[in-house]
Copies of this chain bind each other. A is one copy, B any other.
């Protein structure tokens, strides 16, 4: 998606320098081609290994820009929604059959919306099951439900997960058992029993999303345990799921980073084999497979383009150099980042020089953590340069904040030689447009 033309960085066929001149910086730039390629690669990896339907519900959480959602819908994807994201699914015309409502403590407003729209509701607790049944009864509609299981992960007992954040390790099974999502197996059996008898509920399948085990590389172990529960449920209730939703948490490779996550083919191979073997063992017909990736579809399809404002060199105390840009961590704050904020930095407005130096690339905020690339080795950077940070398409925009009243950036979509604004730049007036002054302070 990126290439050089006369030294200038292009995204598809469009010059980053021209985009910076037209729209200003900082600027998020998305490649439509890359997003479409990600949709096809992901779907095909699972589809070619699986005998039933595969439905990819791309997580709104990772990016809910309306234009980007349109692209994934055109590619046949659905979406995984929490709360008000249901409205965005409806606005963008997402197929209800490919729409999943997740989350604990769902509000009545959103449950109503999901039932009426015909989305799948992943039930998070026994109390919620009753609420959904009651609301469905009031609407005189049947709610399609898939309860979410919280797994014990017995085979991972005592296993620790380490990364740069969790240097002392987290106990994977303990973390998973105690997190706020899903229903413990014993309660799940009660929920299934109730759901099978409820007049306004249709028990379509089951949902499981752990997060940490998949990230830690234990995606075989978690699916094995999940399938054993499904086997047990079949025997106990003479019921088998028509839908199996296995959640998300697929890591995307990041340009220049030392470690590589599994490829999507590696994920798909293990996961589909495990499901199919267990279906065979328990004489279960392979259910429709729902998957909820988020990061994977967006991350490598976008760059963050910033302008260098000033350089400061310390030769006596810290003996280091800071490059200050108009970008900031206000909009580079992916809270789930497996690579701890690492993004390859590329000089976009000219061919980089051969000699390199180590710098901190910073923003302008009143926050010592406002470093968009820390201790990075880069070609010599000059004031006025344009820098591109790679692999920023997931979570960064959706989690952006307005600290220090800093307006959030514009976003542009590139499609071959075409480009268009898909999010206008914020103004400081946008930031305070909800503020009111009581008369007694006027």
Chain A contacts to B: CB under 8 angstroms: 59-61, 64-67, 70-71, 74, 82-85, 87-88, 91, 102-107, 124-128, 131, 150, 152, 167-168, 175, 177-181, 184-187, 211, 309-312, 314-318, 320, 322, 324-326, 333, 335-336, 360, 362-371, 383, 398-407, 413, 415, 418, 420-426, 428, 430-432, 434-441
Contacts and interface: CB of A to CB of B under 8 A. Distances in A.
Given A83-B365, A179-B368, 11 more contacts: A67-B441, A70-B437, A83-B364, A85-B404, A104-B310, A105-B363, A184-B318, A398-B403, A415-B440, A420-B440, A425-B434
Contact of A84 (B105, B175, B312, B407): B407
Number of identical protomers: 2
Given A180-B322, A310-B131, A317-B152, A405 B67 contact: no
Contacts of A316: 184-187
Contacts of A333: 401
Contacts of A127: 310-312, 383
Contacts of A104: 310, 312, 322, 324, 362, 364
A66 B371 contact: no
A331 to B, nearest CB: 10
A71 B441 contact: yes
Given A125-B310, A181-B368, A84 B152 contact: no
Given A320-B178, A403-B398, A420-B436, A365 B107 contact: no
B404 A401 contact: no
A163 to B, nearest CB: 15
